[in-house]
Amino acid sequence: MDAIVIAGGIPQPEQPLYEYTQGKAKAMLDIAGKPMIQWVLDAIGNAKKVDNVIIIGLPDESKVTCTKPTYYIPNQGRMLANISAGIDKMREINPKSEYVLSVSSDIPAITGEMIDWLIDTAMETRHDVYYGVVKKETMDARYPNSNRTFTKLKDMELCGADIHIAHHTMTTDPEHLATWEVLIGKRKQPLKQAASVGFLTLVLLLLGRLSLADAVARTTKKLNFTGRAIIWEYAEAAMDVDKPHQLEILRADLETTIA
């Protein structure tokens, strides 16, 4: 399976990380002596199930490396456009590939073993999309001060992971693209995301009557694809860097791995 690494985000002056990035790519933030994205690339390099890496949003002179064959694509401006461009490149590299791994560049604590676990777990079934989630108790046990936004469902509280798997056809069907744009754009706003799926879904969420299985069923019906939620055993998949305190948590955490 090939991996797409999304690395095009540049914090703007009104955003919390701007004082750290000053107009540069967030992926290049220093964490324990190397760019944040380098931690992710090292994990991918250690993953036995990944063949090629496609980096989106960084120039090839950015001086990041991976032990797997690596390709660069310019930032396409939007998350979905970046994923689509990555899938197009994947088809060019390996026309027989069916599934692609999409990884955010801001989850530096991820490891190769975790990536292999995800691929093995997902490929036990045949679905169009495998969307990762992490339970609140898993997150709190590993990162008690993460301050992630959690969605309270009927059967659990969870947050979204930042690494997923999708079939290569999922961004090529015009019927899906507009809704995908809405859902991806509101991925950190649970109420707006639920409203995008349907009013009843929003009501059930507000009333605490929406289970994870029901949320998956309603979303996949809305978008007309098959999907499966992967409940991560590892909080690292959801520990992304959006705010300064999250950056400092991961800097302190990853310093211990090289000490």
The pLDDT tens digits of the residues spanning 168-181 come to 877 666 665 655 56
Q: Say yes or no to pLDDT of 48 above 80.
A: yes
Neighbouring C-beta atoms of residue 20, cutoff 10 Å: 15
- The pTM (predicted TM-score) of the whole model is 0.89
Letter string b/e over residues 197-232, b meaning 16 or more CB atoms within 10 A of that residue's CB:
beeebbebbeeeebebebbbebbbeebebebbbbeb
- Please tell me which of 197-211, 215-229, 231-245 the model is most confident about, judged by mean pLDDT: 231-245
- The predicted-structure confidence for 111-125, as pLDDT tens digits, reads as follows 999 999 999 999 999
- pLDDT for 154 beyond 70: yes
131: containing domain = 2-258
* 60-82: average pLDDT: 86
Tell me what percent of the residues of the chain surpass a pLDDT of 90.
46
How many domains does the chain divide into?
A: 1
At residue 167 the predicted structure's pLDDT band, cuts being 50, 70 and 90, is: confident
Average predicted confidence (pLDDT) for the chain: 86
pLDDT at 187 over 80: no
Task: State the number of CA atoms in the 13 A half-sphere of 64 facing the CB.
Answer: 34
Residue 259 has pLDDT above 60, yes or no: no
Residue 144 is predicted with a pLDDT of: 94
Cα–Cα distance for residue pair 117/183, rounded to 1 Å: 26
Whether residue 233 is predicted with pLDDT greater than 80 in this model: the reply is: yes
Nearest CA among 16, 33, 83 for reference residue 56: 83
Instruction: Specify the pLDDT at position 204.
Output: 66
Q: What is the pLDDT of residue 174?
A: 60
Neighbouring residues of 150: CB distance < 8 A, sequence distance ≥ 6: 136, 139, 157, 158, 159
The predicted structure's pLDDT at residue 29: 93
Residue type, 35: P
pLDDT at 149 over 60: yes
| CATH number, position 43 | 3.90.550.10
